[in-house]
Amino acid sequence: MIRKLRLKFICVNMLIVTVMLTGIFTMVYHFTREDLETQSVSMLQAVATSPFQPNRPGDPPDWVQLPFFVLDLDQAGNVTSAVGYYDLTDEDDLQALVSDVDSAGDRVGVLPDYGLRYCRSVTPHGERIAFADMSSEQATLSNLIKTCLLIGALCFAVFLLISWLLARWAVKPVEKAWQQQRQFVADASHELKTPLTVIMTNAELLNSPDFDEKRRSQFAAHILTMSRQMRRLIEEMLELARTDNGRSLSGFAPVDLSRLVSDALLPFEPVFFEKGLTLTSDIVPEVTVLGSGQHLRQVVDILLDNAQKYSDVPGEVTAVLTRQGSRCRLSVSNPGPALSKEELRSIFERFYRVDSAHTQRGSYGLGLSIARNIVAHHHGRIWAESKEGRVTFTVELPVRASARS
Show pLDDT as tens, one digit a residue, over the chain (405 residues).
Answer: 677 888 888 888 889 989 999 999 999 999 999 998 888 888 888 877 775 555 444 455 554 456 888 888 888 888 888 887 777 778 888 888 889 988 888 888 888 888 888 998 888 888 888 888 888 888 889 999 999 999 999 998 999 899 888 888 877 777 777 776 777 777 677 667 767 888 888 888 888 888 888 888 888 888 888 888 788 778 777 777 777 665 556 668 899 999 999 999 998 888 888 888 999 999 999 899 999 888 899 899 989 988 988 887 788 999 999 998 899 999 999 998 888 888 888 888 877 766 644 444 455 677 888 889 889 989 999 999 998 889 999 999 999 865 444
- What pLDDT score was predicted for residue 288? 93
Pick the closest to residue 386 from 356, 327, 346 (CA basis).
346
CB-based burial, 297-312: b 16+ in 10 Å, e otherwise: bbbbebbbbbbbbbbe
Supply the pLDDT for residue 325.
87
151-156 long-range contacts, CB within 8 A, separation 24+: 151/25, 152/21, 152/22, 152/25, 155/17, 155/21, 156/14, 156/17, 156/18, 156/21
Cα 67 from Cα 134, distance rounded (Å): 9
Residues across the chain = 405
What gap in Å lies between CA 341 and CA 386, rounded to an integer? Answer: 9
**Separation between Cα atoms, residue 326 and residue 332, nearest integer Å:** 20
Task: Give the max Cα distance, the chain.
Answer: 135
Tell me if the pTM is above 0.75.
Answer: no
The 10 Å Cβ neighbour count of residue 17 is 18
Q: How far is CA 364 from CA 306, 338, 361, 383, in A?
A: 11, 21, 9, 19
In tens, the pLDDT along 9-43 reads 888 888 998 999 999 999 999 999 999 888 888 88
Residue 86 near residue 68 (C-beta atoms within 8 A): no
Q: What was the pLDDT predicted at 149?
A: 92
